[in-house]
A and B are shown apart, each in its own frame.
Chain A
């Protein structure tokens, strides 16, 4: 590998010296993400165009330097940690909307755009980009694509993958290719589909064509309050079994509500065991009937009360609590680890019980805030990372929770990815031939293993 100063100089020639960061302070700032993992890069570079990204890749490829794309660094599993050092490519300058094409229901953007900024912009025209990860205020489209981000509205509208029509990718050797496009059904392998959720291990995305939908005519948001978390979970299964697919079914337990109330004041009932946020959207015709059916189901499952958001302001308050939940939990203890296990929704009550028992077993506070309608759990294990003994218990508890999810016919990650954190746990859901096939796919894109190395697929055991 070339020496540090030469690398900085060469990158400076590509993007201009002011867009290359290499001081110890700068490197520290890029050494962490939203997970507890750490790793220092050798250099950070901020390109402004596809052409610059391509030149960076040529350099990395020729010199065999690890390279890692980064958006806002909100990854929860260590996906953005440069474990082998090398170059971090920060896409913050490539944050433009290139082409808002309402007639064709698409918007073409650069990867560094903040998801909510984009959504705000398209909403002005009466359109929505559906995926709404809780991190949307800070996370970028590029990061959402890499992680196939979910969000509350996945229940009805699907995950990020269902809303990406095309990509511009820079391959390991700097080649620029386009996949998909504004028209559907491009013949050939679905490279777009394979790329979304690849955790940034296959190529660099430099442009994305996103699918837009007309904003729904009507929205109805309800808050159902429960004395037990089980009643809430049973309500979720019963709503789906009744043949109703709300836009969202989100759940929060008492511990999370307390944390939220301390910082956000969303008006959640602090003496309840759990609340369920239920939202319907679409054409108003039939919505009232649906809401009544849902209220009946809630009652059958011992709901204490169901509140209906009277206006947009009330709705926004209910959501602010949910979307700010992770941050609020961060105020309770210095650190938290979020397990992102997902189960078939009918298994929710059973697995939630197991999670509670695991918390008791390891004497760790666990808060639950999750996408109940998708069976996507988010137990937040709260701890202090300065306490190594506690940290070790957290690891054990997290692994046990993921095992419980896998054993229930689910998976170890619904939307946060495997990253560094769950490499070991991939064995819960994959056999060696599955992993070998994943390595084959990785090698097809990145034979020299320079793109975000060390993530997602555990190394082969010989």
Chain B
């Protein structure tokens, strides 16, 4: 075994002097839970990733891939950490084929840059281009395909997240109701396996039964089976019309009755998002007064042809009124995009205000969402823990945020206890509870992924076969894989 300095030299020869960082102040930005890497590498393409991983494999180095870092708090603490592999230089849009409705990008491309690239000449875009946050030295992709298509995904932190991170976590948001999950939109993938081999499947066709669907294996794997490098997606034409309806209700029962009634119709909204416990007031968007003061809010996204959106808008407003909505607001034009971007940043807002924030993602069968919200509300109230709740109503996804400052140990312990009880409850049923954010020092007392199901032995076999040394994201994934 060579000493680490020799390996650093090898990496520098491979990638260039500047693409390997070892300075402590830079490394400190790339901590993963309690561990600081020995080096951060910045490969510029798939070939270089392959070289890095081959070296890591030969010397049994623990590697953690890193995009924008928006989801690095997810998962178990790594068992070991030698290299962080940043995808920030892998930021090339490889192929835009809007006539075929596909796009191929490198993993480090930001979601917002994909949408910007797909915007029309007049900057009609799925994201509100002028509202996008950027770091000081960043610019948003200014090249336009003029196609007016979009990548129909709705991930958290839509202005920061990289596409690689979104795929690694199968991250989705409210509009999954209409457009489904990243897993359903991916057509092909190239990744670097833990041996350093470049492998993949799929491509630019919407149908492909040629070999195993490796892209499905990449989606949601948290990078534990290799480094996701290049991804091809299917696109959709930008909706002719986009509009948001906001409704306030006095009680959760009224709000949930409204949401459930929508699913009894043939209307096809893009999202039905229910917010409680003060979540409405924290949306980082100004100018939605009625809604932001609402104790229970329902936000409905409508995206489609003009007459279809008009019909949905009318029918839903009438329905909400008959169910006792106390205020309704309609957001059109760019305000629609701005609202859903703000929604995607709700977690970030809470995180900045509450250093001890614990975020739970609870999944139950789709019809159970309101019951789940009631259980969460009752449990958290009873434990006297401050919270905000949110549900992607038609998909059975509930997000519970415990708004903690993290300073008071007793409160944190009480919170961890409560989370463990909820975790047991939802692991027993046909559901799951994932602790998405929690201060690192409390992870040891939690089972952040919940109890793995009966398919865990298969997952273990796959991990051991593909990554026998366990170098990729060691221990961070489900069941310590």
A260 on the interface (CB 8 Å rule)?
Answer: no
* Minimal beta-carbon separation of A309 from chain B (angstroms): 21
A6 on the interface (CB 8 Å rule)?
Answer: no
B248 on the interface (CB 8 Å rule)?
Answer: no
- A345–B454 CA distance with the chains assembled, in angstroms: 41
Which segment, of B19-27, B78-86, B204-212, B270-278, faces chain A? B204-212
Interface string of A413-445 (1 = CB under 8 A from B): 111111000100010011001111110111111
| Given contacts A374-B205, A411-B208, A457-B211, A189 and B217 within 8 Å (CB-CB) | yes
Chain A residues within 8 Å of B184, by CB: 158, 162
Of all chain A residues, the one with the shortest Cβ separation from B218 is: A190
B214 on the interface (CB 8 Å rule)?
Answer: yes
Contact across chains for A162 and B180 when beta carbons are under 8 A apart: yes
A321 on the interface (CB 8 Å rule)?
Answer: no
Chain B residues within 8 Å of A57, by CB: none
- A106–B184 CA distance with the chains assembled, in angstroms: 17
- A438–B209 CA distance with the chains assembled, in angstroms: 13
* Minimal beta-carbon separation of A381 from chain B (angstroms): 19
From A185, A192, A214, A413, contact of B266 by CB (8 A) = A214
Contact across chains for B200 and A342 when beta carbons are under 8 A apart: no
A409 on the interface (CB 8 Å rule)?
Answer: yes
Chain B residues within 8 Å of A245, by CB: 236-237
Q: Give B390-429 interface residues, CB cut-off 8 Å to A.
A: 395-397
Which segment, of B2-10, B132-140, B282-290, B461-469, faces chain A? B461-469
A181 on the interface (CB 8 Å rule)?
Answer: yes
Contact across chains for B454 and A177 when beta carbons are under 8 A apart: yes
Contact across chains for A184 and B397 when beta carbons are under 8 A apart: yes
Contact across chains for B465 and A444 when beta carbons are under 8 A apart: yes
| Given contacts A104-B366, A158-B184, A445-B461, A191 and B455 within 8 Å (CB-CB) | yes
A183 on the interface (CB 8 Å rule)?
Answer: yes
| Given contacts A162-B184, A178-B454, A183 and B431 within 8 Å (CB-CB) | yes
Chain B residues within 8 Å of A188, by CB: 220, 449, 452-453, 455-456, 459, 477-479
Contact across chains for A183 and B210 when beta carbons are under 8 A apart: no
B474 on the interface (CB 8 Å rule)?
Answer: no
Contact across chains for A411 and B396 when beta carbons are under 8 A apart: no
| Given contacts A243-B149, A414-B208, A286 and B307 within 8 Å (CB-CB) | yes
- A78–B238 CA distance with the chains assembled, in angstroms: 41
* Minimal beta-carbon separation of A142 from chain B (angstroms): 15
Of all chain B residues, the one with the shortest Cβ separation from A196 is: B213
- A167–B216 CA distance with the chains assembled, in angstroms: 15
Interface string of A136-153 (1 = CB under 8 A from B): 000000000001101000
Chain B residues within 8 Å of A410, by CB: 203-205
Chain B residues within 8 Å of A332, by CB: none
B161 on the interface (CB 8 Å rule)?
Answer: no
Chain B residues within 8 Å of A214, by CB: 266
Chain B residues within 8 Å of A159, by CB: 206-207
From A187, A283, A417, A437, contact of B450 by CB (8 A) = A187
Contact across chains for B430 and A181 when beta carbons are under 8 A apart: yes
Total A-B Cβ pairs within 8 A: 263
| Given contacts A285-B308, A418-B210, A444-B466, A183 and B203 within 8 Å (CB-CB) | no
Contact across chains for B210 and A429 when beta carbons are under 8 A apart: yes
| Given contacts A187-B449, A286-B305, A444-B462, A217 and B213 within 8 Å (CB-CB) | no
| Given contacts A190-B220, A441-B212, A342 and B238 within 8 Å (CB-CB) | no
- A188–B432 CA distance with the chains assembled, in angstroms: 11
Tally of contact residues, A, Cβ under 8 A: 91
Contact across chains for B207 and A414 when beta carbons are under 8 A apart: yes
Contact across chains for A198 and B212 when beta carbons are under 8 A apart: yes
* Minimal beta-carbon separation of A169 from chain B (angstroms): 8
Of all chain B residues, the one with the shortest Cβ separation from A192 is: B216
From A176, A182, A198, contact of B454 by CB (8 A) = A176
- A426–B216 CA distance with the chains assembled, in angstroms: 20
The 10 sampled A-B contact pairs (Cβ below 8 Å) are A154-B207, A176-B454, A188-B220, A189-B225, A344-B100, A345-B100, A411-B208, A412-B210, A415-B209, A440-B465
Contact across chains for A413 and B455 when beta carbons are under 8 A apart: no
Of all chain A residues, the one with the shortest Cβ separation from B434 is: A187
Of all chain A residues, the one with the shortest Cβ separation from B203 is: A411
A359 on the interface (CB 8 Å rule)?
Answer: no
Contact across chains for B466 and A286 when beta carbons are under 8 A apart: no
| Given contacts A245-B237, A283-B308, A444-B466, A184 and B363 within 8 Å (CB-CB) | yes
- A282–B219 CA distance with the chains assembled, in angstroms: 29
B101 on the interface (CB 8 Å rule)?
Answer: yes
Q: Which residues of A contact B (CB under 8 A)?
A: 101, 103-106, 147-148, 150, 154-155, 158-159, 161-162, 169, 171, 175-179, 181-194, 196-199, 214, 216-217, 237, 240-241, 243-245, 282-283, 285-286, 289-290, 342-346, 371, 374-376, 409-418, 422, 426, 429-430, 433-438, 440-445, 456-457
| Given contacts A176-B454, A187-B478, A441 and B266 within 8 Å (CB-CB) | no
Chain A residues within 8 Å of B456, by CB: 188
B327 on the interface (CB 8 Å rule)?
Answer: no
From A101, A244, A440, A456, contact of B211 by CB (8 A) = A456
The 5 nearest A-B residue pairs measured at CB: A193-B216, A286-B305, A243-B237, A414-B207, A285-B307
From A175, A176, A189, A198, contact of B220 by CB (8 A) = A189
- A214–B210 CA distance with the chains assembled, in angstroms: 31
- A139–B199 CA distance with the chains assembled, in angstroms: 32
| Given contacts A190-B219, A286-B306, A183 and B148 within 8 Å (CB-CB) | no
Chain B residues within 8 Å of A193, by CB: 183, 213, 216-217, 219
- A430–B203 CA distance with the chains assembled, in angstroms: 11
Of all chain A residues, the one with the shortest Cβ separation from B369 is: A183
Contact across chains for A376 and B455 when beta carbons are under 8 A apart: no
- A177–B465 CA distance with the chains assembled, in angstroms: 19
Contact across chains for A444 and B461 when beta carbons are under 8 A apart: yes
Contact across chains for A375 and B205 when beta carbons are under 8 A apart: yes
- A162–B364 CA distance with the chains assembled, in angstroms: 19
* Minimal beta-carbon separation of B89 from chain A (angstroms): 23
Which residue of B208, B366, B465 has the most chain A CB atoms within 10 A of its CB atom? Answer: B208
Of all chain A residues, the one with the shortest Cβ separation from B202 is: A411
Contact across chains for B465 and A184 when beta carbons are under 8 A apart: no
Chain A residues within 8 Å of B430, by CB: 181-183
B102 on the interface (CB 8 Å rule)?
Answer: yes
Contact across chains for B207 and A342 when beta carbons are under 8 A apart: yes
Chain B residues within 8 Å of A155, by CB: 206
From B205, B212, B366, contact of A197 by CB (8 A) = B212
Contact across chains for A376 and B207 when beta carbons are under 8 A apart: yes
- A187–B479 CA distance with the chains assembled, in angstroms: 10
Contact across chains for B211 and A241 when beta carbons are under 8 A apart: no
| Given contacts A105-B366, A183-B431, A413-B210, A443 and B205 within 8 Å (CB-CB) | no
- A436–B180 CA distance with the chains assembled, in angstroms: 32
Chain B residues within 8 Å of A418, by CB: 209-211
Chain B residues within 8 Å of A190, by CB: 170, 183, 216-217, 219-221
B197 on the interface (CB 8 Å rule)?
Answer: yes
Contact across chains for A436 and B197 when beta carbons are under 8 A apart: yes
Contact across chains for A437 and B193 when beta carbons are under 8 A apart: yes
B268 on the interface (CB 8 Å rule)?
Answer: yes
Chain A residues within 8 Å of B213, by CB: 148, 161, 193-194, 196-197
Chain B residues within 8 Å of A342, by CB: 205, 207-208
- A134–B465 CA distance with the chains assembled, in angstroms: 38
Contact across chains for A171 and B208 when beta carbons are under 8 A apart: no
- A192–B217 CA distance with the chains assembled, in angstroms: 9
B365 on the interface (CB 8 Å rule)?
Answer: yes
